[in-house]
Amino acid sequence: MKDPSTNENSRAPHNGASTQSIPGADQTLATSSPTQTMPPRAQTPPPTQPVQRNHSGGGFRAGAILILALVLLLVFGVGLFAGWQFTKSSTSSSSTLQPGISPVVTVPPLSGNNVQAVRVAVIQKVSPAVVQVNVTTQSGGAIGSGVIIDKRGYIVTNNHVVSGAQSLTVTLYDGSKLPAQLTGTDPADDLAVIKITPPATGLIVAQLGDSSKLQVGQEVLVIGNPLGITQTVTNGIVSALGRNVSEGQGGATIPNAIQTDAPINPGNSGGALVDLVGNLVGIPTLTAIDPEFNTPANGVGFAIPSNRVAFIVPQIIQTGSVSHTGRAVMGISVTTVDPTVQAQDNLSVDHGVLIVNMTTNSAAAAAGLKPGDVIVQVDSTTVTDIQSLSDALLSKSPGEKVTVKAYRGSQQLTFNVTLGELQSNG
């Protein structure tokens, strides 16, 4: 077994302009990093810091660079996918999720003195729906987690868990091992669906909760297979909501991610984040890295909200792909404007995003925007860099009209843009 301190897909700081895909913001965003050298990050310092994947093989699956705007403080660190890597030698016609057999446990209502009993009941209810996903790749293997969400054998996990898989095996709660097939993926959301043939006894299925009803401070549990130690449970609270988490260059951007201090370790990727009613409210995906020590940050993890899962997964089950991402785009390539870019391109402003290129017949082109324009505002949101543009668009829907203010030379112009929809590359 390779030393797990070696990160696969690790992301390193990078200086200089480049092009990256940031789903949910624009189809292609060219980024220009600040003049200072940034450490590895915890939630991208405005994806002005593109990063590169390192496919050296073995070690932890590294994950996303995230940006945590906490009041006026930006905390920089590198993300770590909660998947565990090791090296060794050598479709349905329905779009509705189908419930499985009834859990043997009923979760009692939470009161002032029964929280321990509630936790135990939730674990007993949900654990049978959480599986270990064993992946064989060309360079070795990987271990992650998954959650059974349909009695026909459909399991949701992370795309990064199954990426590059040559074969898949699922270990059920009772220890039995079954071969699995990949149904489809959604790289933009770091989601994937795999399928097993259900045993004759049937499957217990996790019930999706409504992630929009989560509250900061609410207690949650994480169930998964950290470091390959099956059926491990950790607990914590919802630390924050509405995080827009970027996984770096070429990676997913998770809108409205759930931040939690419940420990999420390598191997937890694709597992279950559950509330104390026993509902699946999120899919744990990554944790942050402390850039000073290059170690996992204590209690800073992120999960894909269940409402996003409920939107994406039925599409994959029905067709094997995602036809409607529900994410708005303008169809432009941009780079962050800073004083250096301002001087190089002789711009009249030292902030915003410079349009480098745009897709033919894109939303931006139809509205009259042109390459060379500098966007400084979308509706009431001030655009200072790529991250702020991404955040502004993640809150919008395809077909929605927005007011965009941009500089063309020294003149500020206003454009009415009808947003397009991000196309899935899964």
Q: Which residues are catalytic?
A: 160, 190, 269
Alpha carbon distance 319, 93 (integer Å): 8
Q: Which residues contact 255 (CB under 8 A, 6 or more apart)?
A: 24, 244, 308, 327, 394
Within 10 Å of residue 14's Cβ, how many Cβ atoms? 17
DSSP 42-111: SB-STTTS--------SSEEP---B-EEETTEEEP-EEEESEEEE------S--S----BPPS--PPPP-
> In the chain, how many H helices and how many E strands?
6, 28
**Residue 397 and residue 393: Cα distance in Å, rounded?**
8
Element (H, E) at 286: strand 280-290
Cα–Cα distance, 146 to 157 (Å, whole number): 5
Contact predicate 90/277, CB 8 Å: no
Structure tokens at 307: 């409402």
What would the two tokens of residue 4 be?
């797990």
